[in-house]
Structure 1
């Protein structure tokens, strides 16, 4: 076999093999014939006319993401940086438009994002930018869909992933937030203090009430016990004065015994003699007697005064009748 034939066979084999090509999944290949668009091939093993057809390019059909950082000014004159993430893809049925009509899609998307963000953010104050970032993202997506659909691109989603104000503004916002939280904490602490004071006052009032009730009950029982003791002593022939003296002396010694039982007590009872109880009782009896005498005298004086007043009224009426006659 001549060398010429061998060259022809090798060349033919090369041409035959070059007519086959593969396209990856989620990729589209654009075929041109003599420089003119011929067809779009999808994933798998494909065939083209050797020498005549060529692969002009391949288009990625996967969802892609483009991050755009924009610096703009808010309504209250605060400069802020926004990071906008745009998720997009090429529609399979519009590969021709995406490949031939738009050369730099990333630049085109970036321009539209800049345009929308710088039109929306200056309408809002800084606090509203944080609160309404979803509205801004929706506006960006709407504008991009209207502009990019003609080029075969579909905008899947737009997200504002970061809002970064100027460092001085952030520090001021942090100070405001800290002051507000300190104010709230102070209000809660004041309220807690008021509740503790009120609760303590109520507890003290209840304690005083119960203490007074206990003292009253104690005195009532002491009085009842004294009455019963006097009655018992009267039954055995001891009169009330002697019984009272005996009870006072007994209580006197009981008190001394209770004081002596406490080693840490610093109470001093004056006067401290057996006659002191009798003297105190005599003074009490004398006081009661004098009080009764004064009361009887006042009653007698009031009774005499009423009698004299009645006599004057009677004689005055008689004299008036005589004058009338």
Structure 2
């Protein structure tokens, strides 16, 4: 009866379940013997054991660390990656810590890539750094029985001193751009006002010139009409106007009128012309 519990324990220790998407590494007296697949697997109690290794995709975030750019700027880098184990035997037995070795490989290549870039280039080339890093690592991690499926640079952050300097430079650049924009706006405003004033002066001069021309044309037209009317008037009309002119002179304050006797018959024409032109007759 005493042996029954002991037998039950021995039987229980003789089997090990290997979960889905995992493999079991069978070790006999501490030495690797064979690889067992998913399911229930037998082992010799106390002599053999099964080390379970997951083959599923695993995420890993590397602790932030410092890298130096080509222009000696200090940048803090944060990297995440996804990997899976491709060779459980290499992963478990050929390296004491394959994951740490993989992290060191990633850090080393990232330092090398960023070390060939200046600060501004590195901060603006995250996607390119991801590609270069994936290419650089390539199949190197297979040495550790691991394959890196994806690498992503989460953050490249300059040191506090560099960030403060960048903020100052950015502020100065913004102020310079704003000053240039303001100056350009004022210059454009002055140009538009000058253009508007010039156009107004030109329009005023054009209008004055047109008005002067119109008045001159009207005056010329009126004189032509007067002269045409005088040409068509007969001698009786001018005689009548002469009588009216002498009558007006007789009723005026003028004490003396001197005229050429030979041109006496032109007096009526002069009176008519002066009346039609709106001027006073002076002889």
TM-score (normalised: structure 2): 0.69
* SS class of match (2:83): strand
Q: 2:161 — aligned with what?
A: 168
Distance 1:190 1:131 in 2: 31
1:1-325 equivalences under 5 Å are: 3=1, 8=4, 21-43=16-38, 45-49=39-43, 51=45, 53-91=48-86, 94-134=87-127, 136-138=129-131, 140-230=133-223, 235=229, 239-245=272-278
Distance 1:136 1:226 in 2: 88
Deviation per residue, 1:131-179 (Å, 9 max, x gap)? 4445554554445445421121112233322122221211111221222
Distance 1:138 1:217 in 2: 76
Structure 1 residues not aligned, in runs of 5+: 247-277, 287-325
Alpha-carbon shift at residue 101 of structure 1 (Å): 1.6
Alpha-carbon shift at residue 190 of structure 1 (Å): 2.6
Distance 2:183 2:24 in 1: 74
Distance 2:217 2:136 in 1: 98
**In the superposition, relative to structure 1, how do residues 232 and 134 fare at CA in structure 2: closer, same or farther (>3 Å)?**
closer
Higher relative contact order (CA 8 A, sep 6+): 2
Distance 1:231 1:111 in 2: 110
The answer (yes or no) to whether the contact 2:16–2:50 under 8 Å persists in 1 is: no
Deviation per residue, 1:240-287 (Å, 9 max, x gap)? 3333326xxxxxxxxxxxxxxxxxxxxxxxxxxxxxxx7xxx9xx99x
* SS class of match (1:103): coil
Distance 2:201 2:35 in 1: 98
Q: Which moved more, 1:211-220 or 1:22-31?
A: 22-31
The answer (yes or no) to whether the contact 1:109–1:144 under 8 Å persists in 2 is: no
Number of matched pairs = 242
The answer (yes or no) to whether the contact 2:59–2:80 under 8 Å persists in 1 is: no
TM-score (normalised: structure 1): 0.61
Structure 2 residues not aligned, in runs of 5+: 238-270
Structure with the higher fraction of residues in helix conformation: 1
